[in-house]
Structures are given as C-alpha cells and as structure tokens.
Structure 1
Amino acid sequence: MGRGDLSDDEWARLEAHLPRNLGRGGRWQCHRRVINGILFRQRTGLPWRDPPPRFGKWKTVHDRHRRWSADGTWEGILRAVQADADAEGRIDWSMVSVDSTSCRAHQHAAGAHARSPRVAGKRGKPMHHRLDEALGRSRGGLTSKIHLVGEGGCRPLAFVITPGQWGDAPQLIPVLERIRVPRPEGGHPRTRPDHLGGDKAYSSRRNRSYLRRRQIKHTIPEPKDQRTNRRRRGSKGGRPVSFSFDKMIYRRRNEVERTINRLKTFRAIATRYDKRAYVFHGTVTVAAIRLSLRTG
C-alpha cells in the first residue's frame, strides 16, 4: 500500500458497493489498483497519462473514472457509503451547513468539443452533463463553483457544480434536493436535516419559504438591505429574522468551511483540469467518497 492509497479498513467498507463485472462476460481490472490510481491523480493533479506504473495502464484508470462519472456509478457508491456511515451514527444530522467555493480552471479545462458526449455502450447523455460545461468567466479567468452541503462531521452530503459567476442563493434549493441518504433497513431515504446554517448570501424570501415548508430550522443572517426593505413593508414584511437567529448555532457554520478545505486538499479539485462537467462532477464525487470512508 502506497502513501495515499486506500487502507485495508477503507477498502473493506468500499468493496461491497463496487460493480461486480463488466457485462457480456468481461471482467474489470483489479478495482483496488485502479481506484488507487484515480485517487493518486486526484491528490496530485498530474495528467492522466503520467501515473506511476504500479497502477497499471493509464488508459484503464482514465476510462474507469470517465465511465463511472458518466453512468452515475460514482454517485451510487457515494450514497451507499453514506448509508453505511448513517447506520453507524457517523453522520451528524443535527446541523448541516451550506456554502460554496470557486475552483480555478486550468487552461486545459477549456476547449471541450461542442458535440454532446455519449456514455460508452449506452444511449443518451452522461449524467450531470451541461452545455456550458460548468465553466464561467470572472475576474480571475475561467472558474467553476462547487455549492456544497456538509454535515457536522465535516463530510459532504451533496453538491452542485455551476459556472464560477453564478450566485449562491439560487443554488440552495437544488443542492438540498440532492441530499438522499438511503436507509439500509428500507424505507424512504433521508433527505431532511434537523437544522441548516448558511451565511447571508443564502438569505432570500424564496429560500426561507422553502425551508419553512419542509420544516427545516435554519440559522441564516439577514443582510442590511433586506432588513430595511422588510421594515418598509410594515406588517407585510413578516417576522424579523433576528428573533430566531442564534449566534452560538451560527458558529457551527465553520464545519462546512472545514469540509471545503478537506475537499481542496485534492489538487484536481482545487484546480479544475477536466474539460467535461460530468467528469469534474465525478472527480468531486470520488473525493467525497474518500472523505466519507474515513472514520476519524
């Protein structure tokens, strides 16, 4: 086992959720070696063609990651790992927080072919494919943005990837709708946390109405201009947010910031090198799986 590879305990947690065979009599190359190769690339950010020989052929490593990103295999594995963590009591539902982070895009991340990609051996487009490839221009150049919900144990629960110039408030509902942690004993997956924390960028009447409708308690400060507008509307402006705002609870919002810091220890996330949005989505998903496998 090399530095950064899956430990025996992590592999035991992950192995049960991996695909069994390739189909039509084919067999996968050793899952553990290939996934360690994918993790090596995630951690170092090196080109796909340059991994050490101990991970096998570079094309096998690249194709495995691209295929599993396209058909949703990585996403299914993440949910299965989250279900195990929830059954063991390692997910803190008492407080989740939402935040976003921008990722600079390398020059090699631009220039994807305009033609829509296809899933190998299947019809239709890849999951999470975007026509804009989740690339946007801002003062810093080409960027992508990860909108993330993290639980109290500093592990990602769900995320959405958008172009870098997109705002935070409109993405609150889409990212919360992505929370789906299956229950091993059966029944509907868990989709609702007990409490949500966020900074004032997520304060809007639409978001607060959505959270009240789903009966999710929330601690989100109200910007000064929204307070002024509410007072101007008088009784129609609604109840002041300050009555329900708890500064002690709001301090726990640093948990999602620490989650983002953990994600960005993977260099392939801190700087985006993937041309396709669905491949970059798979890259972030693999990092989320690795963080969810850790028990500490």
Structure 2
Amino acid sequence: MRRHELSDAEWELVQPLLPRPTMERPRLDDRTVLNGIIWKFRTGVAWRDVPERYGSWATLHTRFRRWASDGTFERMLRAAQAKADAAGSIDWLVSVDSTVVRAHQHAAGARKKGAPDQALGRSRGGLTSKIHLVVDGFGRPLAFVVTAGNINDCTQLTTVMDAIRVPRIGPGRPRIRPDHLLGDKGYSSKAIRTWLRQRRITHTIPERADQVANRQRGGRKGGRPPVFDKQLYKQRNVVERCFNRLKQWRGLATRYDKTAMSYRAAVTLASLLMWA
C-alpha cells in the first residue's frame, strides 16, 4: 500500500458498495481507480498529473464523475455511518460550524446558462466556497452543505441539520435528530432557537453581545437569558478538528473543481474515510 491509498480494511468496507459494471469488456480495477481518485484530491494535482500507475487520467475522471452523479459516494458514506450506529459508536452530542475555502482560478468558468448553482461566491478575497458541517461527538462528519462563500452561517443551519440521515441496519427509520447541538455565536438567533425547540433538540449556543444588550435594555420584558453550559460548550472544538482533517486534503483546502457536484463528491469521499 502506497501513501494516500486505501488500506485493506477500508477497501473491505467500500468494495461492496461500488456499482457493478454493466459491460462485460475488461475495465480498470475499481480499487486502482479509487486509489487514483484519492491520490488526486489528497495532493491537489490536476487530473492529467495523476501517476500512470493508476491508469489513464481520463478513466479516473470519467469514473469519478459517474460515481458523483449517481450518488455512489453518498451511499458509501451512509453505509459507513449505519455500521457505526449499529455498533453504538456514534456520539449524538453534535457540533455545527462552517469553513471558507478559497477557489482557484481553475474553478471558474463552468457553464452558467441553465446550469445549477456552482456554490461560488465573490468576497473581498476573491471567489470562495463554504462548507457547513455537522459532526458527531468524535468529530466525524454526519452531514454537510456546500454553498457560496458569502452565504451567512445561520441561514444554512436548518438545511444542514435536515441533511442528517443515518440509516439503520435492519428495520427502523433513519435517525435524523441528535441529542444536543453545540454552535457558536453565528447561530444565535430567535428563529434558530425556536426551530430547535420545536424539534425537541436541546442546544448550547452563546448569545451575541448585541443580543445581551437588547435583552438587558428591556428589563423584565427582555426575558431570561438562554441556558448556557460553559463546560459542555468546550466540546465544540471537535468540529474545528474535523475541518483541520478535511483540509489535509489539498484538493479540498483549495477548490479546483468547476462544478459543485464534483467538489461535494470529494468532500463526501474524505468524510467516508474518516468513518472507515
């Protein structure tokens, strides 16, 4: 096994989840292809620069695009989460946050007319994307959403929370509701607290300074401050550590993909290996 390649244990997990070929003609081994795809995003090189030991770069790119569009990577991630849930190894004290990813100039230029949103936004630093992420208590990704970099965090909390869907091995509905949510001040709003309360999700989110001042200015009518556990809030650092691990993949730390579908698939693949 070379650096950046799948171990035998990781391959045993993902092999049954890959789609079977429909044509009988010889094709490049799936493990070789997947190793080449991982190597490309780990190092951040262009597709044409992937070493020849992984086969033709065009084959790697075609297989990656096919697996990204048909949901193969998403199914593999859900299966890994389901296996962990069956073993009782998911900590449902979840944390939410976002990180900004600089987009390389090669990420621009996708077809715009009639095409879906490519999750690129212009800010002071140029084109950026943003990953909104929910992790379990061990810092493993449960769900994420990719948006343009100029999208506010609080507008995506309900979207990323609704994306949590851990299937059961055997009968039963997928689990979609965590036990508790940790978030920073960017998620402190009355609308978010109400949304979480309606779904019976307890939360630890600090108030912003302006919200504290407004509440105190109202006196008794300002209401009581929300419950905040400082010791519990310290565990929110797991989401920051998860971002650090994701950005060890140079192809994720800087976005080179023109389409949001390809970039999401790469983030899904990196998340899968955290569970595997």
TM-score bucket (shorter structure): over 0.9
Match of residue 255 from structure 2? 272
Code of the aligned partner of 2:155:
P
Cα distance in 1, alignment partners of residues 208 and 101 from structure 2: 26
Code of the aligned partner of 1:210:
W
Asked if the contact 1:197/1:250 (under 8 Å) is kept, the reply is: yes
Q: Answer with 266-275 or 283-292: which moved more.
A: 283-292
Code of the aligned partner of 1:180:
R
Match of residue 14 from structure 2? 14
1:232 Cα offset (Å): 4.1
Q: Does 1:201 align with 2:201?
A: no
Cα distance in 2, alignment partners of residues 85 and 78 from structure 1: 11
Code of the aligned partner of 2:249:
F
Deviations 1:219-254 (A, max 9, x none): 00000111222344555544311xx20000000000
Cα distance in 1, alignment partners of residues 251 and 221 from structure 2: 48
Cα distance in 2, alignment partners of residues 217 and 27 from structure 1: 54
Cα distance in 1, alignment partners of residues 103 and 179 from structure 2: 35
Match of residue 2 from structure 1? 2
Match of residue 78 from structure 1? 77
Deviations 1:79-123 (A, max 9, x none): 111111221233211x11000000000000001122456xxxxxx
Match of residue 152 from structure 1? 137
After TM superposition, list the pairs within 5 Å mapping 1:200-279 onto structure 2. 200-233=185-218, 237-241=222-226, 244-279=227-262
Structure 1 vs Structure 2: percent identity of aligned residues? 56
Asked if the contact 2:96/2:133 (under 8 Å) is kept, the reply is: yes
Give 5+ residue unaligned stretches, structure 2: none
Distance 1:26 1:98, change over 3 A: farther
Give 5+ residue unaligned stretches, structure 1: 118-129
Cα distance in 2, alignment partners of residues 26 and 154 from structure 1: 42
Cα distance in 1, alignment partners of residues 203 and 104 from structure 2: 36
1:285 Cα offset (Å): 0.7
Asked if the contact 2:108/2:258 (under 8 Å) is kept, the reply is: yes
SS in 1 for 2:156: helix
SS in 2 for 1:63: helix
Q: Answer with 222-231 or 1-10: which moved more.
A: 222-231
Asked if the contact 2:104/2:254 (under 8 Å) is kept, the reply is: yes
Q: Answer with 25-34 or 76-85: which moved more.
A: 25-34
SS in 2 for 1:278: helix
Deviations 1:165-201 (A, max 9, x none): 1111111110000000000022110111111101000
Cα distance in 2, alignment partners of residues 236 and 28 from structure 1: 70
Q: Does 1:143 align with 2:128?
A: yes
Cα distance in 2, alignment partners of residues 87 and 237 from structure 1: 45
Asked if the contact 1:45/1:267 (under 8 Å) is kept, the reply is: yes
Code of the aligned partner of 1:102:
V
Residue 98 of structure 2: which of 100, 113, 118 is its match? 100
Cα distance in 2, alignment partners of residues 2 and 87 from structure 1: 31
The count of aligned residue pairs is 276
Deviations 1:103-157 (A, max 9, x none): 000000001122456xxxxxxxxxxxx32x1111111111000000011111111
Distance 1:31 1:24, change over 3 A: closer
Code of the aligned partner of 2:7:
S
Match of residue 109 from structure 2? 111
